């Protein structure tokens, strides 16, 4: 019988990426699966804080082993922006086109295009919190390219590649992405449990 583990999200893209990694030792449950319709407000000032808010909300309410994550894009020339505000950089939460446009507008005429994606996972396992982090370095393209992925994927070109995340298949992206790296650390921890 696989151990139940709640992923504090209903984001289909994230779920697909994680389900691909988690294997059959665990039964991955979503917020929908446990009947959680709460709007968990991510008002932390860091990725760690936001990930922790999600996992603690689920653990405190349902007493289930769970993990929450927070991810974002940090651009060197913009002092780390959009950072924790990545999903709502242009105002409305999840408006990817507006967020991308704001990044490209803010980078107009700037040569330094270095950026990185970061994911922080907060796992609450047997009542104890553990953090796992993954990053991927890259650059911001001048224009959108590709139709896969989500968020900033069409303008992010990972280091060592000549394509954006949005030009990669899910399998290709999952081998090198920030979320994949954080998930690998999480899975390594869970395998020892």
Strand bridging mode 3-7 / 26-29: parallel
Residue 70 known to be catalytic: yes
**DSSP H/E element including 126:** none
pLDDT tens sequence for the chain (193 residues)? 678 899 998 777 777 767 767 767 788 888 999 999 998 888 999 999 999 999 999 999 999 999 999 999 999 999 999 999 999 999 887 789 999 999 999 999 999 999 999 999 999 999 999 999 999 999 999 999 999 988 999 999 999 999 999 999 988 998 899 988 999 999 889 888 7
Say which of 20, 24, 69, 70 is annotated catalytic. Answer: 70
CATH architecture for segment(s) 3-191? Alpha-Beta Complex (3.90)
Determine contact, residues 62/95, Cβ cutoff 8 Å: no
Model-level pTM? 0.90
Domain boundaries, the chain: 3-191
Q: Which residues contact 177 (CB under 8 A, 6 or more apart)?
A: 17, 117, 119, 134, 136, 165
């Amino acid at each position: 019988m696989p151990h139940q583990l709640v992923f504090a999200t209903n984001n289909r893209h994230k779920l697909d990426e994680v389900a691909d990694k988690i294997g059959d030792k665990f039964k991955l449950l979503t917020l929908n699966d446990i009947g959680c319709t709460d709007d968990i407000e991510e008002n932390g000032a860091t990725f760690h804080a936001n990930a922790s808010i999600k996992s603690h909300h689920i653990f405190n309410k349902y007493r289930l082993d769970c993990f929450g994550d927070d991810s974002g894009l940090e651009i060197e020339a913009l002092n780390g922006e959009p950072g924790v505000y990545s999903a709502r950089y242009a105002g409305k939460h999840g408006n990817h086109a507006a967020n991308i446009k704001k990044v490209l507008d803010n980078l107009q005429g700037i040569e330094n295009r270095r950026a990185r994606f970061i994911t922080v996972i907060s796992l609450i396992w047997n009542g104890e919190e553990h953090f796992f982090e993954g990053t991927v370095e890259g650059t911001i393209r001048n224009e959108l390219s590709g139709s896969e992925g989500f968020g900033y994927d069409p303008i992010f070109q990972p280091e060592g590649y000549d394509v954006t995340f949005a030009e990669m298949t899910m399998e290709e992206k999952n081998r090198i992405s920030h979320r994949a790296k954080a998930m690998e650390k999480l899975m390594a921890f869970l395998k020892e449990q």
